[in-house]
């Protein structure tokens, strides 16, 4: 009995000494940081209409996705709702962010990695829908922290400028958002 215990203990000891040599892992330091971007634009529609255009099916103006032709691209505008990209009929896809605050016509806030999925990074993105004599002042603020490469702040800023000024603004100005509401 004592021999079995010693023999078993010896095996565990030898295995413990041998395992570190057999199991190799690479440890790599990641650059971390934080930054904020903010954009404001005036849109010729009511805060409620702009909120509705910026939520639900956003495929009419949001043109960045993980798959070339997503089946669905939408934001569920309720606490706990998702910013989803559904790839196909099987339901494969990505959850880009989770809605943490939603008040129609006033504010939408979501948190998640957005297009940087796979990196240890988090965006807290806030849309503020402010009444303006010309319609709505939309203020978008992104607070970003985590694994951030050099120059990523400029890339994120350029992408949001594209979404807001080159995609959402013409979508609202053309009245295309009204077709979405009619469906």
pLDDT (tens digit, 9 = 90+) per residue, 11-56? Answer: 655 555 555 666 678 888 888 999 999 999 999 999 999 999 999 9
Domain locations along the chain: 27-182
- Lowest mean pLDDT across 29-33, 35-39, 85-89, 101-105: 29-33
Residue 145 DSSP class: E
CA 85 to chain centre: 10
Q: Considering only 33-37, 68-72, 73-77, which range has the smallest mean pLDDT?
A: 68-72
Bridge partners of residue 146, in order along the sequence: 33, 121
**27-182 has CATH 3.40.50.170 classification:** no
pLDDT at 153: 95
Specify the pLDDT at position 26.
87
pLDDT at 116 (0 to 100): 87
Residue 147 to residue 158: CA distance in whole angstroms: 19
Reported as a single tens digit per residue, the pLDDT across 106-156 is: 999 999 999 888 889 999 999 999 999 999 999 999 999 999 999 999 999
Contact 108, 127 (CB under 8 A): yes
pTM value?
0.83
Euclidean distance between CA atoms 95 and 60, whole angstroms:
19
Can you tell me the distance from the alpha carbon of 83 to that of 89, in angstroms, rounded to the nearest whole number? Answer: 18
pLDDT, position 179: 84
93 backbone dihedrals φ, ψ, rounded to 5°: 170, -160
The DSSP letter of residue 22 is: H
Find, among 101, 58, 99, 64, the residue nearest to 80 by Cα.
99
Q: pLDDT at position 57, please? A: 96
Output the pLDDT for position 162: 97
Residue 9 in this model has a pLDDT that exceeds 90: no
């Amino acid at each position: 009995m004592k021999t079995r215990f010693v023999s078993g203990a010896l095996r565990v000891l030898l295995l413990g000494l041998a395992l570190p040599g057999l199991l190799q892992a690479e440890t790599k330091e990641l650059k971390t940081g934080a930054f904020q971007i903010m954009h404001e634009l005036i849109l010729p529609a009511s805060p409620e209409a702009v909120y509705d255009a910026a939520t639900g099916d956003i495929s009419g103006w949001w043109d960045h996705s993980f798959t070339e032709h997503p089946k669905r691209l939408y934001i569920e505008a309720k606490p706990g709702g998702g910013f989803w990209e559904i790839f196909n009929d099987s339901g494969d896809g990505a959850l880009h962010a989770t809605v943490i605050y939603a008040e129609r016509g006033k504010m939408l806030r979501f948190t998640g990695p957005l297009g940087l999925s796979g990196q240890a990074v988090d965006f807290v993105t806030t849309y503020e829908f402010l009444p303006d004599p010309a319609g709505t002042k939309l203020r978008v603020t992104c607070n970003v922290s985590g694994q951030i490469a050099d120059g990523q702040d400029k890339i994120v800023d350029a992408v949001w400028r594209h979404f807001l000024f080159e995609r959402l603004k013409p979508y609202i100005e053309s009245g295309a958002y009204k077709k979405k509401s009619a469906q």
